[in-house]
Structure 1
Amino acid sequence: MSTAKANRQYETQIAADPALPTILITREFDASPERVFRAYTDPELVVQWLGPHRLTMRIDAYEARSGGSYRYVHREDDGTEYGFRGVFHEVRRDERIVQTFAFDGFPDGVSLETTVFEDLGGRTRVTTTSLMGSIEARDSMIRSGMQRGVREGHERLDELLAGRPSGDTA
């Protein structure tokens, strides 16, 4: 069993305030903010953990710096592709990332995401707040199955931070 599945105290929490067009995602990791931040900003690491287990990932661009941009594609075994893109508005090393996020399949649904890396003395709490254009857009994102992708991505990140390849259950 992987560490991520065995360690339930670090489950990904996903919440949507009924009155606000936001999604709040919180997760703790057994690694320093420096290591977790690097996993969020180094494209060679991002490709190893971001997204669900069943999808492969190709990064077309990933400049994790203030003013930089990104584009990546997740791919199903049958060849179906899902493209995502955005702009990094603020990248504060080991502390915070503010970026836009858009799914090519829903181009009018751009969200603004703020991710904060909180030092817990050898561990890190990552909190991402996604502000959507409307409650309807937020609900559509939730219905898309994003929770599964976020949770599985966090499990893969746990494994990466523990020094095991994603999917290795040793």
Structure 2
Amino acid sequence: MTNASSKKRTDSSSRVITASPRTIYQAFMDPEALVSWLPPEGMKGRIDVFEPREGGAYQMSLIYVNPDRSMQGKTTEDTDVVRGTFLKLVANKQIVQQIKFESEDPSFAGTMTMTWTLDAIPEGTKVSIVCENVPEGITKEDHDRGLRSTLENLATFTE
């Protein structure tokens, strides 16, 4: 693990989804849709606040379905509460969010920037996620697995 003065980590993932950028973008803008595909495997979600506009806030609670010692919540024993702000929304192209985890653990402190890019390609859409300033409490392996799982869920939801 790195210490607080170290350079912050950037994680990324991408996947080709056989759906249009418009279909994928709409899956982000509908809170019921978002909560059905965004939580990675092993979690379910609940939207507490959702204002899909630049500068708008959102809050999502991610609940571990079957928590064990290897999967501890950041906010409570079985829950991660995520507070975010939509920094940039470009219809059918890009979503940029600032995300903070609600946690007393300093290893989850700070603000992560998550950029989703939707590139139209002949097969559908290449969806790319770049997460900057990833809190050190989130291991790279867990984050990579979670990003892949979320992209798989998005593909299943939109294809």
Common fold, TM-score beyond 0.5? yes
For 1:76 and 1:129, the matched residues in 2 are separated by 24
Q: Tell me which moved more, 75-84 or 152-161.
A: 75-84
Structure 1: gaps of 5 or more residues: 1-18, 163-170
Q: Which has the higher strand share?
A: 2
For 2:124 and 2:52, the matched residues in 1 are separated by 22
Q: Tell me which moved more, 87-96 or 50-59.
A: 50-59
Aligned to 1:9: none
Task: Give yes or no for the alignment of 1:75 onto 2:63.
Answer: yes
Task: Give yes or no for the alignment of 1:160 onto 2:148.
Answer: no
Alignment RMSD, CA only? 2.2
Secondary structure of the structure 2 residue equivalent to 1:141: coil
How far has the Cα of 1:72 moved from its partner?
0.3
For 2:93 and 2:126, the matched residues in 1 are separated by 11
Contact 2:119/2:126 (<8 A) preserved: yes
- After superposition, give the CA deviation of every residue in 1:41-82 in whole Å (9 maximum; x if it has no partner): 211110111122321111001222111111000112367111
- After superposition, give the CA deviation of every residue in 1:111-164 in whole Å (9 maximum; x if it has no partner): 11222110113510112222207xxx4x542347122222222222221113xx
Contact 1:32/1:121 (<8 A) preserved: no
Contact 1:75/1:81 (<8 A) preserved: yes
How do 1:90-101 residues align onto structure 2 when only pairs under 5 Å count?
Answer: 90-101=88-99
Contact 1:96/1:117 (<8 A) preserved: yes
Secondary structure of the structure 2 residue equivalent to 1:160: helix
For 1:47 and 1:24, the matched residues in 2 are separated by 21
Count of aligned pairs: 140
Task: Give yes or no for the alignment of 1:34 onto 2:22.
Answer: yes
How far has the Cα of 1:39 moved from its partner?
1.2
Contact 1:51/1:150 (<8 A) preserved: no
How far has the Cα of 1:96 moved from its partner?
1.0
How do 1:53-68 residues align onto structure 2 when only pairs under 5 Å count?
Answer: 53-68=41-56
Contact 1:58/1:73 (<8 A) preserved: yes
Aligned to 1:110: 111
For 1:120 and 1:68, the matched residues in 2 are separated by 30
For 1:59 and 1:34, the matched residues in 2 are separated by 22
For 1:20 and 1:55, the matched residues in 2 are separated by 26
Q: Which has the higher helix share?
A: 1
Kindly provide the amino acid, as one letter, of the partner of residue 29 in structure 1: I
- After superposition, give the CA deviation of every residue in 1:5-48 in whole Å (9 maximum; x if it has no partner): xxxxxxxxxxxxxx873222222111000001111221111011
